[in-house]
Structures are given as C-alpha cells and as structure tokens.
Amino acid sequence: MAAISREDVAHLAKLARIDMNEGELDHLVSELGAILGAVARVQEAAASDVPPTSHPFPVNNVFRSDEVRPSLTNAQALSGAPAQAEERFKVPQILGEE
C-alpha cells in the first residue's frame, strides 16, 4: 500500500476547503492509501513497449453522410403536442426560470 500520512490528508482537505473531523481524516488515510496502491499496481503492469490504446480493435467511422432529406414540418411535429407556443413545444416551468 502506498504511504500517505494523516497530515497529507488534512493538507489536501484544507486545499480543497473541505472541513473534516478527526474520524473522517483517519478513515481517508486508509482509503487513499488503498487507491494509491491500486494505481501503483496498474503502473507496474504497463510496459514501455506497449502503446497506449483506447480500443483493443481498430475503430472506423460508422456515421452516414449528412444528407438533407424530407422531414416533418413544424405544424406536423406539433400536431400531437398537448401545449405549444411560438411554434415550439410548451412544457411546465422548472427551476423557477422564465
């Protein structure tokens, strides 16, 4: 397990402006130590001759070409809407926004 001290955790909490009590600091020392240990194990597995990858197989662009095609008019799209205003769907107000 990677070594991280209680003072390190307290310093990180102060930098992040997180108020922690004594129990939380003690708990995070072991938690962060375990996380750092896991990261160290992953770094050991990565060899310099293995290139970094995001996918195990080559990925090709599978998107179709962008072509203009006929679609619904505004009136057709809004025909089944329970409420509409200014050629748009009208929905209930949320978060007190206008």
**What predicted TM-score, i.e. pTM, was given to this entire model?**
0.43
Domain assignment present for residue 33? The answer is: yes
What residues form DSSP beta bridges with 84? 89
Residue 11 lies in a domain: yes
- Single-letter residue type at 91: V
Give me the CATH number covering residue 26: 1.10.20
Token reading at 90? 């009208």
Q: Is residue 37 part of a domain?
A: yes
Out of 13-22, 44-53, 55-64, 80-89, pick the least confident: 44-53
d(CA 77, CA 15): 52
The domain of 17 spans 6-45
Q: Is residue 18 part of a domain?
A: yes
Residue 92, pLDDT score: 86
Q: Is the pLDDT of residue 2 over 70?
A: no
9-26 residue pLDDT tens:
999 999 999 999 999 999
Task: Tell me how far apart the alpha carbons of residues 62 and 79 are, in angstroms, rounded to a whole number.
Answer: 34
79-84: average pLDDT: 92
Both structure tokens of 94: 């949320």
The total number of structural domains that make up the chain: 1
Q: Is residue 1 part of a domain?
A: no
Q: Flag whether 32 is in a domain.
A: yes
Mean pLDDT value across residues 78-98? 87
Helix (H, G, I), strand (E, B) or coil at 85: strand
